[in-house]
């Protein structure tokens, strides 16, 4: 897709009609320019009372269905999403002066897809998924080290099944905003909102 100079857009009509195609283009550029983890994104969730929490996670899949990440479903974010299955994510690529935000409902990734991703992880990461009671109190680090050793002994080979409490989530975007840094803080912002016929584009004041 040929992307126009985003920081010089005159109006929303000059922006690409498909926000997902635009995201793919920006992400590909970020993979070439960001020195570490271009797929890092902040993930905001809220519990049943509306109290928010925020952390960094890694994007592990993206297609027309949405943005995919993986975690322990008994972690704080997992508990938040069980109570309130909506979230927001934000990518910031400093080398490009760009930011992408997305919001929408969240659903489970199916078992087949989760199994395939889990199998692609290194042995140590797979063992860690079993050993870590993510987000819960840890008396001392040696307890974690002992659990890692015990899981490694239980599964001495490379055949380590996916823990039942560990899996993927897919954020299905209903709103995606693209931000491009501008001189004197006159940034370019275009927001896409999903409707019955596709995506509505609007330019926002910086």
DSSP string, the chain: -----GGG-SSGGGS-S-HHHHHHHHHHHHHHH-SS-TTEEEEEEE-TT--EEEEEEE--EEETTEEEEEEETTSHHHHHHHH--EEEEEEEETTTTEEEEEEEEEEEPPHHHHHHHHHHS-HHHHHHHHH--TTS--S-HHHHHHHHHHHHHHS-SS--PPPTTEEEEEE--SEEEEEE--GGG--EEEEEEEETTEEEEEEE--
Which residues are CB-contacts of 80 (< 8 A; sequence separation ≥ 6)? Answer: 45, 46, 47, 53
Residue holding tokens 């952390």?
55
185 is catalytic: yes
Please say whether the beta carbons of 76 and 82 come within 8 A.
no
Query: Of these residues, 32, 121, 141, 185, which one is catalytic?
Result: 185
Active site residues: 185
């Amino acid at each position: 897709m040929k992307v126009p100079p985003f920081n010089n857009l005159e109006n929303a009509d000059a922006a690409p009609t498909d926000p997902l195609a635009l995201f793919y283009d920006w992400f590909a550029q970020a993979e070439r320019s960001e020195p570490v983890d271009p797929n890092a994104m902040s993930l905001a969730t809220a519990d049943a009372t509306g109290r928010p929490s925020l952390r960094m996670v890694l994007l592990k899949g993206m297609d027309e269905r949405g943005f995919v990440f993986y975690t322990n479903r008994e972690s704080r974010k997992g508990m938040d999403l069980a109570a309130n299955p909506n979230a927001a994510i934000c990518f910031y690529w400093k080398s490009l002066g760009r930011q992408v935000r997305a919001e929408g409902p969240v659903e489970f990734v199916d078992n087949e897809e989760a199994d395939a991703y889990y199998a692609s992880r290194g042995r140590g990461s797979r063992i860690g998924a079993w050993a870590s009671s993510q987000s819960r109190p840890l008396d001392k680090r040696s307890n974690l080290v002992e659990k890692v050793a015990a899981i490694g002994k239980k599964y001495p080979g490379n055949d380590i099944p996916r823990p039942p409490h560990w899996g993927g989530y897919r954020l299905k975007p209903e709103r995606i905003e693209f931000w491009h840094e501008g001189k004197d803080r006159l940034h370019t912002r275009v927001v896409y909102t999903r409707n019955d016929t596709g995506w509505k584009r609007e330019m926002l004041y910086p």
